[in-house]
A and B are shown apart, each in its own frame.
Chain A
Amino acid sequence: MVRIVEIEARLFLRDRLNSLFAVLFPSVLLLVLGAIPGLREPLPELGGQRFIDTYMSALVVFTLAFIGLQRVPTVVASYREKGVLRRLSTTPMHPARLLAGQMVVNFAAVILSVLLLVVVGYVVFGVDLPHHPLGLACAVVLGGAGTFALGLVIAALAPNARAAGGWATVVFMLLMFLGGVYLPRFMLPTAIQTIGSYAPPGVEALQQAWLGTAPDWRHLAIMGLVGLVAGTVAARTFRWE
Protein backbone atom coordinates (compact mmCIF):
# COMPACT_ATOMS: atom_id res chain seq x y z
CA MET A 1 0.00 0.00 0.00
CA VAL A 2 2.89 2.34 0.82
CA ARG A 3 4.30 1.65 -2.63
CA ILE A 4 0.98 2.47 -4.24
CA VAL A 5 0.68 5.79 -2.42
CA GLU A 6 4.27 6.62 -3.27
CA ILE A 7 3.77 5.94 -6.97
CA GLU A 8 0.42 7.71 -7.07
CA ALA A 9 2.07 10.70 -5.41
CA ARG A 10 4.80 10.71 -8.02
CA LEU A 11 2.23 10.55 -10.81
CA PHE A 12 0.34 13.43 -9.20
CA LEU A 13 3.47 15.58 -8.97
CA ARG A 14 4.58 14.63 -12.47
CA ASP A 15 1.34 16.08 -13.79
CA ARG A 16 2.78 19.50 -12.89
CA LEU A 17 0.17 21.74 -14.39
CA ASN A 18 -2.67 20.11 -12.51
CA SER A 19 -0.87 19.57 -9.23
CA LEU A 20 0.56 23.08 -9.06
CA PHE A 21 -2.80 24.50 -10.01
CA ALA A 22 -4.62 22.53 -7.34
CA VAL A 23 -2.15 23.42 -4.59
CA LEU A 24 -1.14 26.96 -5.50
CA PHE A 25 -4.07 28.50 -7.29
CA PRO A 26 -6.18 29.38 -4.22
CA SER A 27 -3.24 31.19 -2.62
CA VAL A 28 -2.35 32.95 -5.87
CA LEU A 29 -5.94 34.08 -6.31
CA LEU A 30 -5.90 35.37 -2.74
CA LEU A 31 -2.76 37.39 -3.50
CA VAL A 32 -4.34 38.85 -6.64
CA LEU A 33 -7.61 39.78 -4.96
CA GLY A 34 -5.78 41.08 -1.91
CA ALA A 35 -3.82 43.42 -4.16
CA ILE A 36 -7.06 45.31 -4.87
CA PRO A 37 -7.35 47.95 -2.12
CA GLY A 38 -11.18 47.95 -2.04
CA LEU A 39 -11.22 44.28 -1.12
CA ARG A 40 -9.07 45.00 1.92
CA GLU A 41 -11.57 47.55 3.33
CA PRO A 42 -13.99 46.48 6.03
CA LEU A 43 -17.52 46.47 4.58
CA PRO A 44 -20.78 46.93 6.46
CA GLU A 45 -22.50 44.29 4.23
CA LEU A 46 -19.98 41.78 5.55
CA GLY A 47 -20.55 42.65 9.17
CA GLY A 48 -17.48 44.85 9.21
CA GLN A 49 -15.19 42.20 7.75
CA ARG A 50 -13.04 42.58 4.69
CA PHE A 51 -13.92 40.80 1.44
CA ILE A 52 -10.70 38.80 1.53
CA ASP A 53 -11.51 37.51 5.03
CA THR A 54 -14.85 36.17 3.93
CA TYR A 55 -13.43 34.84 0.66
CA MET A 56 -11.07 32.42 2.41
CA SER A 57 -13.78 29.79 2.76
CA ALA A 58 -14.68 30.13 -0.93
CA LEU A 59 -11.04 29.45 -1.78
CA VAL A 60 -11.14 26.26 0.28
CA VAL A 61 -14.32 25.35 -1.61
CA PHE A 62 -12.39 25.82 -4.83
CA THR A 63 -9.61 23.51 -3.71
CA LEU A 64 -11.97 20.77 -2.60
CA ALA A 65 -14.19 21.02 -5.67
CA PHE A 66 -11.25 21.20 -8.08
CA ILE A 67 -9.48 18.17 -6.69
CA GLY A 68 -12.63 16.19 -5.90
CA LEU A 69 -14.40 16.88 -9.17
CA GLN A 70 -11.77 17.77 -11.73
CA ARG A 71 -9.11 15.25 -10.79
CA VAL A 72 -10.76 12.33 -9.03
CA PRO A 73 -13.43 11.40 -11.61
CA THR A 74 -11.22 11.73 -14.68
CA VAL A 75 -8.29 9.84 -13.20
CA VAL A 76 -10.49 7.03 -11.87
CA ALA A 77 -12.55 6.77 -15.07
CA SER A 78 -9.41 6.73 -17.20
CA TYR A 79 -7.88 3.98 -15.04
CA ARG A 80 -10.95 1.94 -15.82
CA GLU A 81 -11.05 2.88 -19.50
CA LYS A 82 -7.40 2.00 -20.04
CA GLY A 83 -7.86 -1.36 -18.34
CA VAL A 84 -5.53 -0.48 -15.45
CA LEU A 85 -8.11 -1.67 -12.92
CA ARG A 86 -8.79 -4.81 -14.94
CA ARG A 87 -5.10 -5.57 -15.13
CA LEU A 88 -4.78 -5.17 -11.36
CA SER A 89 -7.73 -7.52 -10.86
CA THR A 90 -5.48 -10.35 -12.05
CA THR A 91 -2.89 -9.65 -9.34
CA PRO A 92 -3.18 -10.58 -5.67
CA MET A 93 -3.85 -6.89 -4.94
CA HIS A 94 -7.41 -5.66 -5.20
CA PRO A 95 -7.74 -2.64 -7.55
CA ALA A 96 -9.71 -0.81 -4.83
CA ARG A 97 -6.36 -0.17 -3.19
CA LEU A 98 -5.22 1.81 -6.18
CA LEU A 99 -8.29 4.01 -5.80
CA ALA A 100 -7.62 4.32 -2.07
CA GLY A 101 -4.06 5.40 -2.86
CA GLN A 102 -5.45 7.93 -5.31
CA MET A 103 -7.74 9.35 -2.58
CA VAL A 104 -4.90 9.58 -0.06
CA VAL A 105 -2.73 11.53 -2.48
CA ASN A 106 -5.53 13.87 -3.52
CA PHE A 107 -6.49 14.52 0.06
CA ALA A 108 -2.89 15.28 0.94
CA ALA A 109 -2.95 17.87 -1.86
CA VAL A 110 -6.08 19.41 -0.32
CA ILE A 111 -4.40 19.69 3.09
CA LEU A 112 -1.30 21.25 1.56
CA SER A 113 -3.37 23.75 -0.36
CA VAL A 114 -5.43 24.77 2.69
CA LEU A 115 -2.36 25.10 4.93
CA LEU A 116 -0.70 27.30 2.33
CA LEU A 117 -3.84 29.42 2.17
CA VAL A 118 -3.89 29.85 5.95
CA VAL A 119 -0.24 30.92 5.98
CA VAL A 120 -0.49 33.31 3.02
CA GLY A 121 -3.68 34.88 4.39
CA TYR A 122 -2.18 35.37 7.82
CA VAL A 123 1.28 36.55 6.79
CA VAL A 124 0.39 38.77 3.85
CA PHE A 125 -3.04 40.14 4.71
CA GLY A 126 -3.39 39.55 8.43
CA VAL A 127 -6.41 37.30 7.93
CA ASP A 128 -7.27 35.69 11.26
CA LEU A 129 -5.93 32.20 11.79
CA PRO A 130 -8.89 29.80 11.85
CA HIS A 131 -10.82 30.50 15.05
CA HIS A 132 -11.75 26.90 15.47
CA PRO A 133 -8.93 24.80 13.92
CA LEU A 134 -10.50 21.50 14.89
CA GLY A 135 -13.82 22.61 13.41
CA LEU A 136 -12.04 23.68 10.23
CA ALA A 137 -10.27 20.33 10.05
CA CYS A 138 -13.61 18.54 10.45
CA ALA A 139 -15.21 20.77 7.84
CA VAL A 140 -12.37 20.08 5.38
CA VAL A 141 -12.39 16.34 6.02
CA LEU A 142 -16.16 15.94 5.82
CA GLY A 143 -16.55 18.43 2.96
CA GLY A 144 -13.73 16.62 1.17
CA ALA A 145 -15.39 13.26 1.79
CA GLY A 146 -18.67 14.56 0.34
CA THR A 147 -17.02 16.10 -2.71
CA PHE A 148 -14.68 13.17 -3.41
CA ALA A 149 -17.61 10.77 -3.08
CA LEU A 150 -19.59 12.79 -5.64
CA GLY A 151 -16.55 12.60 -7.90
CA LEU A 152 -16.48 8.82 -7.47
CA VAL A 153 -20.19 8.53 -8.24
CA ILE A 154 -19.54 10.35 -11.50
CA ALA A 155 -16.59 8.06 -12.23
CA ALA A 156 -18.78 5.02 -11.47
CA LEU A 157 -21.70 6.06 -13.65
CA ALA A 158 -19.97 7.76 -16.58
CA PRO A 159 -19.42 5.47 -19.57
CA ASN A 160 -15.89 6.76 -20.19
CA ALA A 161 -13.27 9.24 -19.06
CA ARG A 162 -14.46 11.96 -21.43
CA ALA A 163 -18.02 11.78 -20.17
CA ALA A 164 -16.78 11.70 -16.58
CA GLY A 165 -14.82 14.89 -17.21
CA GLY A 166 -17.84 16.57 -18.79
CA TRP A 167 -20.34 15.62 -16.10
CA ALA A 168 -17.90 16.50 -13.36
CA THR A 169 -17.30 19.95 -14.83
CA VAL A 170 -21.03 20.73 -14.68
CA VAL A 171 -21.20 19.70 -11.01
CA PHE A 172 -17.94 21.56 -10.33
CA MET A 173 -19.33 24.81 -11.77
CA LEU A 174 -22.54 24.43 -9.79
CA LEU A 175 -20.77 23.79 -6.50
CA MET A 176 -18.39 26.69 -7.13
CA PHE A 177 -21.39 28.95 -7.66
CA LEU A 178 -23.17 27.71 -4.53
CA GLY A 179 -19.94 27.94 -2.58
CA GLY A 180 -19.59 31.64 -3.40
CA VAL A 181 -16.49 31.32 -5.55
CA TYR A 182 -17.92 33.28 -8.50
CA LEU A 183 -19.91 35.84 -6.57
CA PRO A 184 -19.65 36.60 -2.87
CA ARG A 185 -22.48 34.76 -1.18
CA PHE A 186 -24.08 37.87 0.31
CA MET A 187 -24.92 38.91 -3.26
CA LEU A 188 -26.81 35.68 -3.92
CA PRO A 189 -30.53 35.24 -3.19
CA THR A 190 -31.26 33.91 0.30
CA ALA A 191 -32.62 30.60 -1.01
CA ILE A 192 -29.41 29.94 -2.92
CA GLN A 193 -27.36 30.93 0.10
CA THR A 194 -29.27 28.36 2.15
CA ILE A 195 -28.79 25.63 -0.46
CA GLY A 196 -25.12 26.58 -0.58
CA SER A 197 -24.65 26.07 3.13
CA TYR A 198 -25.82 22.46 2.82
CA ALA A 199 -24.17 21.61 -0.51
CA PRO A 200 -20.72 20.05 -0.44
CA PRO A 201 -18.02 21.01 0.17
CA GLY A 202 -19.88 23.01 2.86
CA VAL A 203 -18.87 26.64 2.56
CA GLU A 204 -20.90 27.69 5.60
CA ALA A 205 -19.16 25.26 7.95
CA LEU A 206 -15.77 26.35 6.62
CA GLN A 207 -16.69 29.99 7.05
CA GLN A 208 -17.90 29.60 10.63
CA ALA A 209 -14.92 27.52 11.65
CA TRP A 210 -12.57 30.11 10.20
CA LEU A 211 -14.17 33.41 11.20
CA GLY A 212 -17.01 32.51 13.55
CA THR A 213 -16.88 30.47 16.68
CA ALA A 214 -17.56 26.91 15.58
CA PRO A 215 -19.16 25.16 12.62
CA ASP A 216 -22.81 24.24 12.93
CA TRP A 217 -22.92 20.49 13.57
CA ARG A 218 -25.88 20.16 11.21
CA HIS A 219 -23.82 21.41 8.30
CA LEU A 220 -21.05 18.98 9.16
CA ALA A 221 -23.53 16.13 9.56
CA ILE A 222 -25.01 16.85 6.13
CA MET A 223 -21.53 16.71 4.57
CA GLY A 224 -20.88 13.42 6.31
CA LEU A 225 -24.21 12.10 5.10
CA VAL A 226 -23.54 13.19 1.50
CA GLY A 227 -20.19 11.44 1.71
CA LEU A 228 -21.76 8.29 3.08
CA VAL A 229 -24.64 8.12 0.60
CA ALA A 230 -22.58 9.08 -2.43
CA GLY A 231 -19.79 6.77 -1.32
CA THR A 232 -22.22 3.87 -1.03
CA VAL A 233 -23.76 4.61 -4.42
CA ALA A 234 -20.28 4.78 -5.95
CA ALA A 235 -19.23 1.49 -4.35
CA ARG A 236 -22.46 -0.23 -5.41
CA THR A 237 -22.40 0.95 -9.01
CA PHE A 238 -18.69 0.94 -9.65
CA ARG A 239 -17.52 -1.14 -12.60
CA TRP A 240 -13.93 -2.32 -12.62
CA GLU A 241 -13.84 -2.65 -16.40
Chain B
Amino acid sequence: MAIIEVRDLGKRYGPRVAVDSVSFEVAEGEIFGVLGPNGAGKTTTVECVSGLRKPDSGSVAVLGERPADVRASIGVQLQASELPERMRVGEALALFSSFYPSPADWSARLGLTSHLKAEFGQLSGGLKQRLAIALALVGSPRVAVLDELTTGLDPQARRDTWSVIEDVRAAGVTILLVTHFMEEAERLCDRVAVFRAGRIVALDTPSALVSRVDGATRVRFVPSEPLDVALLEALPEVTSVSAVGEQLVVSGSENLLHAVTSLLARRQVVARQLRVDQVSLDDAYVELTGGRDGADR
Protein backbone atom coordinates (compact mmCIF):
# COMPACT_ATOMS: atom_id res chain seq x y z
CA MET B 1 0.00 0.00 0.00
CA ALA B 2 1.19 3.52 -0.75
CA ILE B 3 2.36 5.37 2.34
CA ILE B 4 2.51 8.69 0.50
CA GLU B 5 -0.13 9.50 -2.12
CA VAL B 6 0.02 12.71 -4.09
CA ARG B 7 -2.81 13.32 -6.59
CA ASP B 8 -2.99 16.19 -9.06
CA LEU B 9 -1.16 18.46 -6.66
CA GLY B 10 -1.24 22.12 -7.67
CA LYS B 11 0.28 25.09 -5.88
CA ARG B 12 0.83 28.66 -7.00
CA TYR B 13 2.46 31.67 -5.38
CA GLY B 14 0.59 34.65 -6.71
CA PRO B 15 0.78 34.44 -10.49
CA ARG B 16 3.63 31.94 -10.48
CA VAL B 17 2.65 28.30 -10.79
CA ALA B 18 5.07 26.34 -8.60
CA VAL B 19 3.56 22.89 -9.01
CA ASP B 20 1.05 21.78 -11.61
CA SER B 21 -0.89 18.49 -11.45
CA VAL B 22 1.81 16.39 -9.89
CA SER B 23 0.89 12.82 -8.94
CA PHE B 24 2.97 10.04 -7.47
CA GLU B 25 2.85 7.32 -4.86
CA VAL B 26 5.56 6.09 -2.56
CA ALA B 27 5.43 2.56 -1.19
CA GLU B 28 6.30 1.76 2.39
CA GLY B 29 10.04 1.24 2.87
CA GLU B 30 10.94 2.89 -0.40
CA ILE B 31 13.51 5.63 -0.94
CA PHE B 32 11.87 7.95 -3.41
CA GLY B 33 14.02 10.60 -5.06
CA VAL B 34 12.85 14.00 -6.22
CA LEU B 35 15.15 15.53 -8.83
CA GLY B 36 15.01 18.66 -10.89
CA PRO B 37 16.55 22.08 -11.42
CA ASN B 38 16.02 24.98 -9.00
CA GLY B 39 12.51 26.33 -9.18
CA ALA B 40 11.10 23.13 -10.68
CA GLY B 41 8.70 22.64 -7.76
CA LYS B 42 10.59 20.00 -5.76
CA THR B 43 10.65 21.85 -2.47
CA THR B 44 7.05 23.01 -2.78
CA THR B 45 5.98 19.42 -3.37
CA VAL B 46 7.80 18.04 -0.36
CA GLU B 47 6.57 20.95 1.75
CA CYS B 48 3.03 19.91 0.92
CA VAL B 49 3.90 16.33 1.89
CA SER B 50 5.40 17.60 5.19
CA GLY B 51 2.22 19.50 6.01
CA LEU B 52 3.97 22.88 5.83
CA ARG B 53 1.85 24.10 2.92
CA LYS B 54 -1.71 23.50 1.88
CA PRO B 55 -2.18 22.45 -1.74
CA ASP B 56 -4.27 24.82 -3.88
CA SER B 57 -5.66 21.84 -5.72
CA GLY B 58 -5.38 18.06 -5.63
CA SER B 59 -4.65 16.06 -2.54
CA VAL B 60 -1.77 14.78 -0.46
CA ALA B 61 -2.13 11.87 1.93
CA VAL B 62 0.49 10.41 4.23
CA LEU B 63 -0.51 7.15 5.96
CA GLY B 64 -3.93 7.80 4.49
CA GLU B 65 -4.37 11.08 6.40
CA ARG B 66 -3.79 14.76 5.78
CA PRO B 67 -0.10 15.44 6.54
CA ALA B 68 -0.99 18.07 9.17
CA ASP B 69 -2.86 15.39 11.13
CA VAL B 70 0.04 12.95 11.25
CA ARG B 71 2.93 15.28 12.02
CA ALA B 72 4.22 12.90 14.68
CA SER B 73 4.77 10.25 11.98
CA ILE B 74 6.63 12.52 9.57
CA GLY B 75 10.23 13.57 10.22
CA VAL B 76 11.39 16.55 8.24
CA GLN B 77 14.76 18.01 7.39
CA LEU B 78 14.29 21.38 5.73
CA GLN B 79 16.54 23.26 3.43
CA ALA B 80 18.04 26.25 5.26
CA SER B 81 16.39 25.99 8.61
CA GLU B 82 18.50 26.85 11.59
CA LEU B 83 18.27 26.77 15.35
CA PRO B 84 18.95 29.54 17.85
CA GLU B 85 22.68 30.34 17.74
CA ARG B 86 23.33 29.53 21.36
CA MET B 87 21.24 26.38 21.60
CA ARG B 88 23.39 23.34 22.26
CA VAL B 89 23.18 20.15 20.26
CA GLY B 90 22.05 18.20 23.33
CA GLU B 91 19.38 20.80 24.13
CA ALA B 92 18.01 20.73 20.60
CA LEU B 93 17.77 16.93 20.74
CA ALA B 94 16.09 17.05 24.17
CA LEU B 95 13.68 19.76 23.06
CA PHE B 96 12.62 17.97 19.89
CA SER B 97 12.37 14.62 21.73
CA SER B 98 9.84 16.21 24.05
CA PHE B 99 7.44 16.81 21.14
CA TYR B 100 7.04 13.12 20.27
CA PRO B 101 5.45 10.15 22.04
CA SER B 102 8.29 7.71 21.34
CA PRO B 103 11.54 9.51 20.62
CA ALA B 104 14.57 7.80 19.09
CA ASP B 105 18.16 8.82 19.55
CA TRP B 106 20.20 8.82 16.35
CA SER B 107 22.93 11.05 17.74
CA ALA B 108 25.46 8.25 18.22
CA ARG B 109 24.91 6.85 14.73
CA LEU B 110 25.35 10.35 13.33
CA GLY B 111 28.53 10.99 15.32
CA LEU B 112 27.03 13.77 17.40
CA THR B 113 27.78 12.34 20.84
CA SER B 114 31.03 14.26 21.24
CA HIS B 115 29.34 17.51 20.20
CA LEU B 116 26.36 17.53 22.56
CA LYS B 117 27.65 20.59 24.41
CA ALA B 118 28.54 22.53 21.27
CA GLU B 119 26.36 25.50 20.41
CA PHE B 120 24.53 25.48 17.11
CA GLY B 121 26.18 28.70 15.92
CA GLN B 122 29.64 27.13 16.21
CA LEU B 123 28.91 23.90 14.35
CA SER B 124 30.44 23.25 10.94
CA GLY B 125 28.11 22.85 7.97
CA GLY B 126 28.49 19.09 8.12
CA LEU B 127 27.60 18.91 11.80
CA LYS B 128 24.59 21.20 11.31
CA GLN B 129 23.42 18.87 8.57
CA ARG B 130 23.92 15.80 10.76
CA LEU B 131 22.00 17.47 13.58
CA ALA B 132 19.18 18.31 11.15
CA ILE B 133 19.00 14.62 10.20
CA ALA B 134 19.02 13.54 13.86
CA LEU B 135 16.17 15.98 14.55
CA ALA B 136 14.23 14.69 11.56
CA LEU B 137 14.49 11.17 12.95
CA VAL B 138 14.03 12.00 16.62
CA GLY B 139 10.31 11.24 16.61
CA SER B 140 10.75 7.70 15.20
CA PRO B 141 8.90 8.77 12.06
CA ARG B 142 7.46 6.32 9.55
CA VAL B 143 8.16 8.79 6.77
CA ALA B 144 11.26 11.00 6.56
CA VAL B 145 11.34 13.96 4.19
CA LEU B 146 14.89 15.07 3.52
CA ASP B 147 15.39 18.21 1.45
CA GLU B 148 18.88 18.56 -0.01
CA LEU B 149 20.38 16.41 2.63
CA THR B 150 23.98 16.51 1.48
CA THR B 151 24.22 19.93 -0.14
CA GLY B 152 27.27 21.65 1.32
CA LEU B 153 28.91 18.46 2.56
CA ASP B 154 32.33 17.33 1.45
CA PRO B 155 32.48 14.06 -0.51
CA GLN B 156 33.47 11.96 2.51
CA ALA B 157 30.70 13.41 4.69
CA ARG B 158 28.29 12.85 1.82
CA ARG B 159 29.17 9.16 1.63
CA ASP B 160 28.87 8.84 5.41
CA THR B 161 25.43 10.42 5.23
CA TRP B 162 24.36 8.00 2.52
CA SER B 163 25.22 5.04 4.70
CA VAL B 164 23.15 6.61 7.49
CA ILE B 165 20.22 6.88 5.10
CA GLU B 166 20.59 3.22 4.23
CA ASP B 167 20.44 2.41 7.95
CA VAL B 168 17.35 4.54 8.32
CA ARG B 169 15.66 2.67 5.53
CA ALA B 170 16.76 -0.62 7.05
CA ALA B 171 14.91 0.52 10.18
CA GLY B 172 11.73 0.54 8.08
CA VAL B 173 11.43 4.26 7.42
CA THR B 174 10.10 5.43 4.07
CA ILE B 175 12.19 8.27 2.66
CA LEU B 176 11.35 11.12 0.35
CA LEU B 177 14.66 12.57 -0.75
CA VAL B 178 15.13 15.83 -2.64
CA THR B 179 18.52 16.01 -4.25
CA HIS B 180 20.72 17.75 -6.78
CA PHE B 181 23.23 14.94 -6.95
CA MET B 182 22.66 12.23 -9.52
CA GLU B 183 25.24 10.04 -7.87
CA GLU B 184 23.18 10.25 -4.69
CA ALA B 185 19.96 9.37 -6.48
CA GLU B 186 21.63 6.45 -8.30
CA ARG B 187 23.10 5.09 -5.11
CA LEU B 188 20.11 5.51 -2.78
CA CYS B 189 16.83 5.78 -4.60
CA ASP B 190 14.56 2.96 -5.63
CA ARG B 191 12.65 5.30 -7.89
CA VAL B 192 13.03 8.92 -8.83
CA ALA B 193 10.67 11.58 -10.10
CA VAL B 194 12.29 14.18 -12.33
CA PHE B 195 10.62 17.58 -12.05
CA ARG B 196 10.68 20.28 -14.65
CA ALA B 197 8.74 23.54 -14.52
CA GLY B 198 6.33 22.32 -11.87
CA ARG B 199 5.59 18.96 -13.46
CA ILE B 200 6.97 15.45 -13.29
CA VAL B 201 8.59 14.71 -16.63
CA ALA B 202 9.80 11.22 -15.77
CA LEU B 203 9.22 8.75 -12.97
CA ASP B 204 11.11 5.49 -12.91
CA THR B 205 14.01 3.57 -11.42
CA PRO B 206 17.36 5.29 -11.97
CA SER B 207 18.55 2.54 -14.35
CA ALA B 208 15.35 2.66 -16.40
CA LEU B 209 15.74 6.43 -16.75
CA VAL B 210 19.26 5.95 -18.04
CA SER B 211 18.26 3.34 -20.59
CA ARG B 212 15.56 5.66 -21.90
CA VAL B 213 18.10 8.09 -23.19
CA ASP B 214 18.83 7.80 -26.92
CA GLY B 215 22.43 6.95 -27.55
CA ALA B 216 22.88 5.52 -24.08
CA THR B 217 26.17 3.99 -25.17
CA ARG B 218 28.94 5.91 -26.83
CA VAL B 219 31.96 4.46 -28.65
CA ARG B 220 34.95 6.68 -29.51
CA PHE B 221 37.90 5.66 -31.63
CA VAL B 222 40.38 6.84 -34.20
CA PRO B 223 40.06 4.69 -37.36
CA SER B 224 43.37 3.40 -38.76
CA GLU B 225 42.29 4.56 -42.22
CA PRO B 226 39.51 6.85 -43.45
CA LEU B 227 36.07 5.37 -42.99
CA ASP B 228 32.81 6.38 -44.64
CA VAL B 229 30.60 7.75 -41.89
CA ALA B 230 27.49 6.74 -43.85
CA LEU B 231 28.40 3.06 -43.28
CA LEU B 232 28.27 3.60 -39.53
CA GLU B 233 25.06 5.58 -39.76
CA ALA B 234 23.46 2.78 -41.71
CA LEU B 235 23.80 0.38 -38.77
CA PRO B 236 20.46 -0.03 -36.95
CA GLU B 237 22.18 0.21 -33.55
CA VAL B 238 23.61 3.67 -34.31
CA THR B 239 21.70 6.84 -33.54
CA SER B 240 24.35 9.41 -34.37
CA VAL B 241 27.93 9.78 -35.51
CA SER B 242 30.12 12.80 -35.14
CA ALA B 243 33.73 13.50 -35.91
CA VAL B 244 35.99 15.32 -33.49
CA GLY B 245 39.26 15.84 -35.33
CA GLU B 246 40.44 12.36 -36.29
CA GLN B 247 38.24 10.78 -33.66
CA LEU B 248 34.80 9.41 -34.41
CA VAL B 249 32.12 9.45 -31.72
CA VAL B 250 29.33 6.95 -32.32
CA SER B 251 26.24 6.93 -30.10
CA GLY B 252 23.61 4.26 -30.02
CA SER B 253 21.90 1.45 -28.19
CA GLU B 254 23.34 -1.18 -25.88
CA ASN B 255 24.67 -3.47 -28.63
CA LEU B 256 26.51 -0.63 -30.26
CA LEU B 257 30.01 -1.85 -29.51
CA HIS B 258 29.53 -5.22 -31.14
CA ALA B 259 27.90 -3.70 -34.24
CA VAL B 260 30.66 -1.15 -34.69
CA THR B 261 33.56 -3.57 -34.18
CA SER B 262 32.01 -6.09 -36.59
CA LEU B 263 31.74 -3.40 -39.25
CA LEU B 264 35.34 -2.34 -38.69
CA ALA B 265 36.51 -5.97 -38.88
CA ARG B 266 34.69 -6.50 -42.18
CA ARG B 267 36.33 -3.34 -43.56
CA GLN B 268 39.67 -4.31 -42.01
CA VAL B 269 39.92 -1.03 -40.18
CA VAL B 270 41.59 -0.99 -36.79
CA ALA B 271 40.00 1.11 -34.05
CA ARG B 272 42.75 2.97 -32.20
CA GLN B 273 42.25 4.57 -28.77
CA LEU B 274 38.94 2.78 -28.47
CA ARG B 275 36.78 3.94 -25.55
CA VAL B 276 33.26 3.00 -24.56
CA ASP B 277 31.15 5.26 -22.30
CA GLN B 278 27.83 4.53 -20.71
CA VAL B 279 25.44 7.38 -20.25
CA SER B 280 24.96 8.13 -16.56
CA LEU B 281 21.91 9.40 -14.73
CA ASP B 282 23.55 12.81 -15.08
CA ASP B 283 23.13 12.70 -18.86
CA ALA B 284 19.62 11.32 -18.53
CA TYR B 285 18.78 14.13 -16.14
CA VAL B 286 20.14 16.82 -18.43
CA GLU B 287 18.16 15.43 -21.31
CA LEU B 288 14.94 15.11 -19.29
CA THR B 289 15.14 18.57 -17.81
CA GLY B 290 16.05 20.18 -21.11
CA GLY B 291 19.56 21.17 -20.09
CA ARG B 292 20.07 24.88 -19.64
CA ASP B 293 16.57 25.85 -20.69
CA GLY B 294 15.10 23.93 -17.82
CA ALA B 295 17.32 25.40 -15.12
CA ASP B 296 16.47 28.49 -13.09
CA ARG B 297 13.43 29.50 -15.03
Contact = CB atoms under 8 A, between A and B. Distances in A.
Interface of A: 3-4, 7, 10-11, 14-15, 78-79, 82-84, 86-87, 89-93
Interface string B21-46: 00000000000000000000000000
A62 B91 CA distance: 32
Given A91-B71, A91-B139, A84 B82 contact: yes
A10 B71 contact: no
B71 A82 contact: no
A87 B128 CA distance: 14
Contacts of A14: 86
Interface pairs A-B: 3 shortest CB-CB: A83-B81, A82-B82, A90-B76
Contact of A90 (B71, B82, B84): B71
Contact of B84 (A3, A84, A86, A89): A84
Contacts of A82: 81-84
A7 B94 contact: yes
Contacts of A83: 78, 80-82
Contact of B50 (A4, A11, A90, A92): A90
Q: Is the interface of B mostly helix, strand, loop or mixed?
A: loop
B51 interface: yes
Nearest to B82: A82
B268 interface: no
A4 B94 CA distance: 10
B71 A86 contact: no
A15 B86 contact: yes
Interface stretch (B95-103, B217-225, B242-250, B272-280): B95-103
A84 B91 contact: no
A142 to B, nearest CB: 29
Contacts of A3: 94-95, 98
A11 B87 contact: yes
B74 interface: yes
Contacts of A89: 51-52
A37 to B, nearest CB: 43
Contacts of B94: 3, 7
Contacts of A93: 99
Contacts of B95: 3-4, 7
Interface centre among A11, A86, A89, A90 (most CB of B within 10 A): A90
A86 B83 CA distance: 10
Interface in B52-91: 52, 71-72, 74, 76, 78, 80-84, 86-87, 91
A82 B52 CA distance: 16
Nearest to B135: A87
9 contacts: A3-B95, A7-B94, A14-B86, A15-B86, A82-B81, A82-B83, A87-B81, A87-B135, A90-B78
Contacts of A7: 87, 91, 94-95
B52 to A, nearest CB: 6
Given A84-B81, A91-B99, 12 more contacts: A3-B95, A7-B95, A82-B82, A82-B83, A83-B78, A86-B81, A87-B76, A87-B78, A90-B51, A90-B71, A91-B96, A93-B99
A240 to B, nearest CB: 9
A78 B85 CA distance: 10
